[in-house]
Amino acid sequence: MPQDTQASVWAEARAFLRAYHAETNMPNLNARLRDVEAEIAECGSYQLLSAELVHGAKMAWRNSARCVGRLHWPALTVRDLRHLREPAAIFAELRRHLHLAWNGGQLQPLMSVFGPGVQIINDQLIRYAGYANGSGDPQNRALTDFLCAQGWTPPAEPGPYDVLPLAIEASGQVQLYHLVREDVREVSFSHPESPAFAGLNLKWHALPVISDMPLSVGGLQFECAPFSGWYVQTEIAARNLADAERYDQLPAVARAMGLDTRRERSLWRDRALLELNVAVLHSFDVAGVRLADHHRVSRQFVRFEARERRTGRAVQGRWSWLISPLSPALTPIWQRHYQEDAAVRPAFLKRLPGWEGAKGGPAKCPFHG
């Protein structure tokens, strides 16, 4: 390892270990620093202890400037699976991650950290295919094309919610793995006051698992560290299903609700958007699946800010990501100001989309999906 890189790793390791020991009241900081410095001098790198990795992952969530759900960072469960590097074994543990995080519908925040030399190409473990004919999720068209080029064959009759296979890369080779029905929990949507709404046949998967963001802790980078929490209803209803560039369902919702779509001044889009959010919240509640709403999560973020201030830590925040896409001015975050993304570590990083950087391209450039 070049000497300047080695010095950088040592500087980040030193800063992280000091923070870790201070926050956890762990003793023997100086001895640990000496051991790490000697290991870096001899090997060019070092190994985090499992407890250090766990706390570092929690700190990365706490530092995630784009995440409004950070109040819960201490509750993150971290699975230290760094001994696993083989794609088949990793896929088996990804399936286990989905089942553990599901937790009977009471979704629990979970991260699985795997060994070096492997990465997941998909940006989330569960993604719906996007096809050239416009069906499915247009956002995933490039990913779908990439997976087809790797050998995936779409269903004979492609649908709007075809779950894509997972592409796992190791040693420059990409292998595809298929999730089965019991791995993918989905919620079908109905409306508490409109029987016609169910006829739209809308649904979404219940568990978002971010899988393309490397975890950086103490100068070390873990390329394969999928992380899951739970959705805010606006992510599904005000973006995934509503955006014109995604599923574009507001006109269909308006028709099902009997709204006057002849004039924009009737605010039919706004009303349809609200009713779509009502339907998503209602349906997750009926299904018994954990889902945040934009009002509660905004209040929780204010509590997170206050708690961080008491510790003397500054809160990083990307305001445009923290505010709700539905009625943002009604939330307490609307009039607040935050320090824009600073280079704070530990952190989740952003790399090139897998289909562009699948052959080991460098990280370039979030947590909830």
Residues with a catalytic annotation lie at 67, 70, 230, 235
How far is Cα 369 from Cα 141, in angstroms, rounded to an integer?
A: 17
Structure tokens at 221: 């980078």
Structure tokens at 331: 């939330």
Placement of tokens 């600073």 in the chain: 342
DSSP single-letter state for residue 332: T
Residues 337/319, Cβ–Cβ less than 8 Å: yes
Residues belonging to the chain: 369
Computed on alpha carbons and rounded to an integer, the radius of gyration of the chain in Å comes to 22
Residues 142/121, Cβ–Cβ less than 8 Å: no
Query: Where would I find the H helices in 166-207?
Result: none
**Cβ atoms within 10 Å of 260's Cβ, excluding its own:** 11
Walk across the sheet containing 166-170 and list its strands. 118-120, 166-170, 173-177
Nearest by Cα to 161 from 197, 191, 193, 200:
200
